Structure 1
């Protein structure tokens, strides 16, 4: 009986090994996000900007505004400060946040100056490449009264390959935010 069972197992193994092996294509995760639709939003601070309707705005009491992207598990943190003859200190703090905290893990940091003289908005947009904690930051000022900084953080370990589609989507949103900032008079 044992020989009979071994013969059957051997026969099945012999028959099942025939045929050509066809490699399966590698599959990639396909993440699709809706086309952005922006709307003008007011904050409790003396500026407004346009945000994506895919996100949710939350005003904080400590001088901050949070723009949540729940489906992407990310938040854009905006911080407002009044300029009180300390514009140079505010600019240095914003630059230090970018370089000191992210240069260790960043592959590159690209600076993109932003100037909108019609609305008196002057700033810098930073694109951070690599596995840094954030991949996009900006600051904006009217150089006399108002100063805003923004950065995006994901609720995951920074692995740029994994979060790249969401990071690219939010980076475009952040550029749009910077381009649409308007100061109250």
Structure 2
């Protein structure tokens, strides 16, 4: 009789411990970044201004072309291991290069379709400051998660792209990419031509 009781208890414990297997939901790392604090750029040599996050370390490069027609600015985020690369080009109507600049910017984004899961494009327009352009959000393991271009359609053309100092693994860089995406949009929204 005692053996039946023990067998019943063991059977009850074994059956009671059998949990249903439930798959875990997809999740991302929870990383906390500081609230962005933006300040106006202090670069006098370039024909435009914008606001940049104080978390960034800004580096101006003039080695792209040693003329007044092209400038390069790297906005480095050492703590996020990423950089936003800006390239400014002067529009020359004699050469009719605005259309070529727009095509180059669009083709640059489309080159990421090989590794990208999706590319979402959003038009941007600020009539008051005469800033018009496109923002591209690239999903997946592409080399660059965000790109943009803005122009006044007369004199100025500015492109930007975000890169990380790591092999593209979208799950790992997703939080930092989303944080810097906001900074890129803020750059677009605060561009003022000189």
Q: TM bucket by the smaller chain?
A: 0.7 to 0.9
Contact 1:42 1:49 in 2 (8 A): no
Secondary structure of the 2:144 match is coil
Structure 2: 5+ residue stretches without partners: 1-16, 18-23, 65-70
Q: 1:81 and 2:89 equivalent?
A: yes
Instruction: Write out per-residue CA displacement over residues 104-156 of structure 1, whole angstroms, 9 at most, x where no aligned residue.
Output: 00111111000001000000000001110011000000000000000000000
2-structure distance, mates of 1:127, 1:28:
18
| Structure 2 match to 1:15 | none
| Structure 2 match to 1:54 | 55
Alpha-carbon distance, 1:29 to partner: 4.5
Q: 1:34 and 2:42 equivalent?
A: no
| Structure 1 match to 2:161 | 151
Gap change, CA 1:82 and 1:33, over 3 Å in 2: same
1-structure distance, mates of 2:98, 2:161:
19
Q: 1:169 and 2:170 equivalent?
A: no
Q: How large is the Cα RMSD of the aligned pairs?
A: 1.6
Structure 1: 5+ residue stretches without partners: 1-19
Contact 1:135 1:152 in 2 (8 A): yes
Count of aligned pairs between the two proteins: 159
1-structure distance, mates of 2:130, 2:103:
20
How high is the TM-score relative to the length of structure 1? 0.82
2-structure distance, mates of 1:136, 1:116:
20
| Structure 1 match to 2:8 | none
Secondary structure of the 1:89 match is helix
Stretches of 4+ moved more than 4 A in 1?
none
How high is the TM-score relative to the length of structure 2? 0.79
